[in-house]
């Protein structure tokens, strides 16, 4: 829960950071665009100055409008109109030549007079216009004997600069949105999955507890029955008790797996010499094998075998492997060997059973997985044993290896790291 909050926090901070970085880049981009624009305007101003400084078609027509000379025999308005458009087209062309492509207006005026000329199109919010005045030299001011100014006007240029930066801003916003979308999706499915695991584990825990109560009652009832029972009924009762024991073992296994996965229990590794324990486990299993008339042999290294282990779980794991060797062999001959190699201890359990095919070998460690011919041989199981063994071995920082040949036998090896005696 805490870790989840930390991850979500990091994610939110990262996305916010990304937005801030993008915003800063955008500001830098806008400033650069403004500097570039100002440079272009200086070039435009130079062009206009040069063209209006001498007498030519444009400057002559503008002069007609400014001085109201009636050279063309046309009304003042018509001359004004024509020069307005001519000047407008000239400025526009100069803009395009210098790489400026935005709306503009202009006005031509002398300090102490009203506008002589202004652009055909003008902006409504006069106050907020950005203005670039160009003082005209040469022919025109000499003609009217006054300094003349041509003012270029633009509306808010930020929109124009932004449209120039669109190639950068839009993709980066899109990419950030895509990242947010994907991360949210991953987080959602991850938490959905962990929810499912928790509910499954809760369900397993509840169910196993529910199963244990009636089992306890059956055990108690058989004990009572045992007290006054005839000799010929005894095998029946012992069968019931045996099966109850088996069922209890399976329930414990399911419970342990559930707890291991939800990390509820404390799994504590302690330093221990495995040798005496292995000998004890072998003795125990020998007794079971003797009852079933199966062969069992043990070969344990003569030296001390110190490992960091959680003994009850490791014992369960070894017994699960021994149990499988017994279950999946018709006339079991089982061989347990434990030896040290380099800094490892290898515990191998070999049988002469039905074996596992190469294809099935990949799946046998999955929870609830059973090889179908396991059922064919009428061997009962829940497909939990090996997944439990694997989990336990993993928690001991070890590995597990299976070598098997169909109808010849199987050898399962647990390889654990050894430690020093003190
Ligand atoms: P279970 O024995 O309860 O079915 P396990 O997880 O212990 O579950 O084993 C999974 C499958 O692997 C079994 O169904 C069986 O087919 C196969 N298997 C395990 N051990 C052996 C073995 N020693 N020999 C042959 N098959 C085995």
Distance 373 CA to ligand 1 centre (A): 10
Residue 328 CB–ligand 1 contact under 6 Å: yes
pLDDT of residue 163: 77
Which atom, in ligand 1's list, is nearest to the CA of 353?
A: 24
Residue 385 CB–ligand 1 contact under 6 Å: yes
Q: How far is CA 28 from CA 2, 22, 161, 294, in A?
A: 39, 10, 11, 83
Q: Give the number of other Cβ atoms within 10 Å of residue 356's Cβ.
A: 23
Structure tokens at 283: 């003795």
CA 406 remoteness from chain centre: 42
Structure tokens at 140: 């025109």
Residue 367 CB–ligand 1 contact under 6 Å: no
- Tens-place pLDDT, residues 351-376: 999 999 998 888 999 888 888 765 55
* Longest alpha-carbon distance in the chain: 144
Which atom, in ligand 1's list, is nearest to the CA of 371?
A: 16
- Return the CATH number of the domain spanning residue range 190-262: 1.10.287
Residue 413 CB–ligand 1 contact under 6 Å: no
Residue 322 CB–ligand 1 contact under 6 Å: no
Q: Give the number of other Cβ atoms within 10 Å of residue 201's Cβ.
A: 18
The radius of gyration of the chain's CA atoms, rounded to the nearest angstrom, is: 46
Residues of the chain within CATH 1.10.287 domain(s) are 190-262
Between 343 and 253, the higher pLDDT residue? 343
Give the confidence band of 393 by pLDDT, cuts at 50, 70, 90: very high
Q: Is the pTM of this model over 0.75?
A: no
Residue 387 CB burial class (10 angstroms; 0-12, 13-18, ≥19): buried
- Tens-place pLDDT, residues 110-131: 777 666 777 777 777 777 788 8
Residues of the chain within CATH 3.30.565.10 domain(s) are 270-417
Residue 381 CB–ligand 1 contact under 6 Å: yes
- Tens-place pLDDT, residues 57-93: 777 777 777 776 655 556 666 767 777 788 888 888 8
363 and 324 Cβ atoms separated by less than 8 Å: no
CATH architecture of 270-417: 2-Layer Sandwich (3.30)
Give the confidence band of 305 by pLDDT, cuts at 50, 70, 90: very high
């Amino acid at each position: 829960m805490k870790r989840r909050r930390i991850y979500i926090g990091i994610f939110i901070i990262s996305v916010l950071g990304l937005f801030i970085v993008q915003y800063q880049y955008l500001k830098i981009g806008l400033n650069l665009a403004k500097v570039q624009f100002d440079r272009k305007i200086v070039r435009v101003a130079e062009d206009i100055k040069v063209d209006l400084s001498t007498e030519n078609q444009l400057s002559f027509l503008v002069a007609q409008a400014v001085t109201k000379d009636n050279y063309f025999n046309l009304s003042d308005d018509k001359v004004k109109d024509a020069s307005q458009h001519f000047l407008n087209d000239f400025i526009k062309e100069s803009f395009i030549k210098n790489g400026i492509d935005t709306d503009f207006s202009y006005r031509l005026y002398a300090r102490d007079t009203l506008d002589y000329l202004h652009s055909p199109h003008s902006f409504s919010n006069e106050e907020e216009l950005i203005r670039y005045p160009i003082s005209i030299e040469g022919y025109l001011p000499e003609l009217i004997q006054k300094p003349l100014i041509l003012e270029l006007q633009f509306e808010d240029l930020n929109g124009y600069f932004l449209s120039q930066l669109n190639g950068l801003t839009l993709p980066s916003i899109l990419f950030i949105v895509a990242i947010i979308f994907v991360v949210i999706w991953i987080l959602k499915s991850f938490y959905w999955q962990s929810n499912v695991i928790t509910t499954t584990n809760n369900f397993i825990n509840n169910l196993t507890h529910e199963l244990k109560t009636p089992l306890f009652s059956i055990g108690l009832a058989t004990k009572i029955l045992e007290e006054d029972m005839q000799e010929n009924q005894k095998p029946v009762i012992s069968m019931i008790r045996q099966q109850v024991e088996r069922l209890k073992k399976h329930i414990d296994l399911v419970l342990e797996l559930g707890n291991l996965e939800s990390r509820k229990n404390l799994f504590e590794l302690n330093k221990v010499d495995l040798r005496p324990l292995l000998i004890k486990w072998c003795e125990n299993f020998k007794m079971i094998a003797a009852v079933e008339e199966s062969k069992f042999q043990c070969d344990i290294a003569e030296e001390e075998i110190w490992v960091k282990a959680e003994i009850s779980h490791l014992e369960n794991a070894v017994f699960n492997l021994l149990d499988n060797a017994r279950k999946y062999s018709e006339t079991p001959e089982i061989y347990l060997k434990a030896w040290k190699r380099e800094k490892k201890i290898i515990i191998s359990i070999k049988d002469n059973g039905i074996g596992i095919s190469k294809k099935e070998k990949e799946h046998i460690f999955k929870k609830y997985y059973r090889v179908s011919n396991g059922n064919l041989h009428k061997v009962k199981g829940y497909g939990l044993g090996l997944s439990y063994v694997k989990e336990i071995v993993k928690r001991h920082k070890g590995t597990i290896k299976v070598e098997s040949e169909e109808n010849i036998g199987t050898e399962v090896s647990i390889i654990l790291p050894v430690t020093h005696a003190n």
